[in-house]
Structure 1
């Protein structure tokens, strides 16, 4: 294998992904990178890092140390240009993260999304996120079918940052949920302030455009099945839902809270314009 040639091939593909996109799209790519890096920090990384790049698996063992070394050599996405030098595996890992197309993240207008999906809620205004990303993925056939039968509604799910790589690619999985105060299932709430309590700020990729600490909340579309209606007579708090059928939850949006939002956006747009010659809107 000619690693110099292969590194240049992956570098070219990464540059094409970055240069041809708007700054808004590049922020979406950075979130993918950030969430993958965060999943590796967890003691549950074996589960939370799925999907994981197969070229960093040897003898059925994920090479976590090597993967972290690769991540450490990746600069900020807005700093990558033709003169950037990285090892072959770092270029390949970055290409894998950015080009993993089974799920795309699309930055949306916060106010517009809040108005269209959630309406004029006082709690959402009080806990307004810095960013909202739409999760672009193909819904399961069972979800589409049951939505036509029962209808749907939106609810929030709070979780640690390290869980969100798995959440965006695999959805919310009942068996991975550690909460059982009101029985087994995936816990959601109609109130964002409840979800935020379960979404502490966590450390992420140290060269993320979002800064070093993020908090994420999933906004999910939920099937209004008969079991949901029955919960109104249970001991559950009014704002809680416990969903036992994974097919009845679809992660629709990721709400992102950054500790350095204002500084990020100003510096990010300036760097993108200067280094890549992109126009923004």
Structure 2
């Protein structure tokens, strides 16, 4: 469900994009990478010594190498979501927070400078090689932008790329039923911010449940940094609040494909959907037999529909996972894990099964015209 925009009709998954390399190992927490940045002020740079500037640049380059080495795909997605917000015609509201390196002393936003910086950044695997070989030509301001995006800004946003097996297990845990006829995400990410630990410390499986939330691509940079916010909601048919769904298929109707970063390994076009943990509180409206639990006073649409969730307090919800719809590989191919072992074997050996079936058909046709086979059938009483 979308909290920021009108319903998007016909929103679907993005397919046929470049396949990124699958992460080989689980990646460490964001805290293992020190957050460093260059000073963006021109006056500061002018007053600093040349050796000091070189030291600052070296530190930020080393930090970027660490980020890219640990989780290249999550860095790519962060930059894609940032780019999607920066390119949006609504960038004044959706590019929040705004990169400090592109703010002047009066607080004016240099959005053109942000666009130029994004055009200058090469694909991240190439950037990693350049940094390791000390051949990176990006300016201090452009490096500062990358450092700010990868470090997660003030919210310390961290995305951890989940393996395919982890992604499938997460789908099961959040309520996607095996064999569901829906588009599965191509990549899944665990989401953490500076408030995750404290929020989760007061949350258990017994007093919470999961909900899916879909939105436009250009909204996700702000959503992940600032959380889902009730005051940003535009959909209020059943009351004001944050709209989610207990069914993945329902929320898929509210995502829309958008243009992210041109250098992304996922391709420049993608869409996203979040999985949020919701505290089971009376102010969270759900479809149930209890009329007071399923209705908001003054609701134009009546009771909350089945599979809908309406959260009316920002503190009762926290995003835990981000599903990205990029190319056709990734988790979508792994939907076979939702089948039983026999179906799984058939799926993995479907060409062999087809050939065996064709061979069996030819054998039956040939044997049906064989005299000795017909005599055998008569002896067995299977043929008159």
Q: Within 5 Å, which residues of 2 pair with 1:249-268?
A: 249-259=317-327, 261=329
1:26 to 72, 79, 98: 72
Q: TM-score, normalised by structure 2?
A: 0.61
- d(CA) in 2 for partners of 1:229 and 1:180? 13
Unaligned ranges ≥5, structure 1: 263-281
Q: Compute the displacement of 1:26 (Å).
A: 1.1
CA distance in 1 between partners of 2:57 and 2:177 (Å): 45
How far 1:148 moved relative to its partner?
5.7
The change in CA–CA distance for 1:222 and 1:76 in structure 2 (over 3 A counts) is same
Q: Where does 1:27-46 land on structure 2 (aligned, <5 Å)?
A: 27-46=73-92
Structure 2: which 5+ runs fail to align?
1-44, 296-302, 331-384
- 1:207 corresponding residue in structure 2: 263
Which of 266, 271, 274 is the matching residue for 1:218?
Answer: 274
C-alpha distance in 2, partners of 1:32/1:43? 19
Query: What is the match of residue 238 of structure 1?
Result: 306
Cα distance in 2 for residues equivalent to 1:129 and 1:157: 14
Q: Tell me if the contact between 2:245 and 2:308 (Cα under 8 Å) persists in the aligned partners.
A: yes
After superposition, the C-alpha distances for 1:17-44 in whole angstroms (9 at most, x for unaligned) are 4544576611111111111111112233
- Kindly state the Cα deviation for residue 140 of structure 1 after the two structures are TM-superposed: 7.6
Q: How does 1:1-281 map to 2 (within 5 A)?
A: 1=45, 12-20=58-66, 25-58=71-104, 59-80=106-127, 81=130, 82-100=134-152, 102-109=156-163, 110-118=167-175, 120-123=177-180, 126-137=182-193, 138-139=195-196, 144-145=201-202, 147=203, 151-228=207-284, 231-232=287-288, 233=291, 234=295, 235-259=303-327, 261=329
- Judge conservation of contact 1:156–1:219 (CA < 8 Å) in 2: yes
**Aligned length, in residue pairs:** 260
Residues 140 and 71 from structure 1, CA distance in 2 versus in 1: closer, same or farther, beyond 3 angstroms? same
Following the alignment from structure 1 to structure 2, what is the Cα–Cα distance between the partners of residues 7 and 37? 27
More strand by share: 1
Are 2:210 and 2:246, in contact at CA under 8 Å, matched by a contact in 1? yes
TM-score w.r.t. length of structure 1: 0.82
